Amino acid sequence: MRAHLVLAIAAVALVACSRSLLGRGEFGAFGEGGSGANGVGGGVPNGVGGGVPNGVGGGVPNGVGGGIPNGVGGGVPNGVGGGVPNGVGGGVPNGVGGGVPNGVGGGVPATEDCTNALDDDDDGKVDCEDPDCDAGFTCTPPPPTDWTGPVAFFEGPGSQAAPSCGSAYPFLLVDGVDGILAASASCPACTCGVPKGVACDIAQLRLYGADACMGGGGTLTIAANACIGFVSMTDPASAQWATALPGGGVCFPKASSPPVVPPIGWEQRARVCGGGSIGGGCGVNQCMPRPSENFGKTLCIAHSGEVACPAGPYTDRSVYFTAASDSRSCTNCDCGAPTGMVCTGKLALATDTGCTADVTTLTTVGQCVHLDPDPTPPPEPSAYKTLRSVVYTPGASQGGGCSSVPSVASGEATPIDPVTVCCAP
Ligand SMILES: [Ca+2]
Ligand SMILES: [Ca+2]
């Protein structure tokens, strides 16, 4: 309200000045007489006389009448005319003539600067002592050792941006957050390719005493790619390729997409702004600007880490974090062991021990063959022979697959690097 009043009065002053009230101390709002508090003459700052600073009268700073600071007319500070502060003419503040602010004459321009530990308007009150500073400034204790402040402090929902620091506390010191919102990663679907590297190293041949793979017999296990001869064997009448066992191998996993890690959100947001001017008039305390409108009404101090508030007026404690550690991801897709493969190739049966005589070839697993009697049995001590050697020549493995091991969410996001803020209640 004070500022509005002064503006209104100044507007009147301009009208009055246009009527050439040069240097006439005709009347005074806050005083009377020809001399004033801080001056002499027809223009007294904040005082008495024609020429009242911040008032109405002759030689009025920011006012109406002769001796108007910042105006035109009689006793005008910063202007021309009678009673001109910083100027020339009658009533010059800081100068010579009638109407000098802070001096002699009508027309006083000075106002209180609340940040400089000086009494700018000569009312005997420095900075926060001066009622002129009440609206925008307040006395507050300096921060304890190792604390930063006094600072302005904003708290709000994490979904909204923090306000800019503004002019009273222009420096952004900390942007903090709390209440982490971090959903797990979305993980891909996994598939497995066909088995690779399967070895067909072993075949099994079953022997039968009767035709058509009937009757008693035995089983031979045969390593691949080598002629296996048998010195002694009951002569079989038929034989069946029983198995071709696949071994080893691996399926390579494939993920449908990379993991998707959602952004981190926060339930609360805070901002700490510093750099406020430090004025006087508060004894051992400091004259500090009040926080701007979007910030908390009281001043605060800040300290890195999670610490207790110090003794003194700053007791309302908040902790916010300034970063997050985020290890969220997905486990890798994987595959189980290959199963279901079928080995191909051929089994060659011979009546000599070198895999060359009277060869009978089996080409599929399960195939049963009749073994003819050897038409030229070797002489004694060997007897009648139908099978004395076999060689397994494997082909490629076919078919089969692996079960897939799914990709699952892993890791977590946690807030780190806290800052403690303690505010005056
Ligand atoms: Ca001051
Ligand atoms: Ca003052």
Token code pair at residue 5:
């009043």
Q: What is the mean pLDDT of residues 353-381?
A: 79
Which ligand is located closest to the Cα atom of residue 279?
A: 1
How far is residue 287's CA from residue 277's CA, in Å, rounded to a whole number? 8
What spacing in Å lies between the alpha carbon of 279 and ligand 2's midpoint? 12
Which ligand is located closest to the Cα atom of residue 129?
A: 2
In degrees, rounded to 5, the angle at the alpha carbon of residue 146 between the alpha carbons of residues 143 and 148 is: 50
How far is residue 299's CA from residue 140's CA, in Å, rounded to a whole number? 8
Q: What pLDDT digit, counting tens, does each position of 375-422 carry?
A: 565 555 555 567 888 999 999 888 999 999 999 999 999 999 999 999
Chain position carrying tokens 């073994």: 371
What spacing in Å lies between the alpha carbon of 130 and ligand 2's midpoint? 5
What spacing in Å lies between the alpha carbon of 385 and ligand 1's midpoint? 125
What spacing in Å lies between the alpha carbon of 118 and ligand 2's midpoint? 7
What spacing in Å lies between the alpha carbon of 415 and ligand 1's midpoint? 44
Whether pTM > 0.75 for this model: the answer is: no
The DSSP code for 159 is T
Alpha helices in 29-122 (DSSP H): none
Question: Which residue, 195, 242, 234, 241, is CA-closest to 217?
Answer: 234
Q: What pLDDT digit, counting tens, does each position of 18-42 carry?
A: 333 233 333 223 323 333 333 333 3
Q: What pLDDT digit, counting tens, does each position of 129-185 carry?
A: 999 999 999 999 999 999 999 999 999 999 999 999 999 999 999 999 999 999 999
Which ligand is located closest to the Cα atom of residue 131?
A: 2
What spacing in Å lies between the alpha carbon of 378 and ligand 1's midpoint? 130
Which ligand is located closest to the Cα atom of residue 122?
A: 2
What is the pLDDT, as a whole number, of residue 271? Answer: 98
**Domain covering 194-251+335-401, topology:** Gamma-B Crystallin; domain 1 (2.60.20)
What spacing in Å lies between the alpha carbon of 277 and ligand 1's midpoint? 12
Q: Confidence class of residue 337 from pLDDT cuts 50, 70 and 90?
A: very high
Question: Domain-by-domain residue ranges, the chain?
Answer: 1-111, 194-251+335-401
What spacing in Å lies between the alpha carbon of 114 and ligand 1's midpoint? 4
Which ligand is located closest to the Cα atom of residue 110?
A: 2
* Residues 207 and 388: beta-carbon distance below 8 Å: no
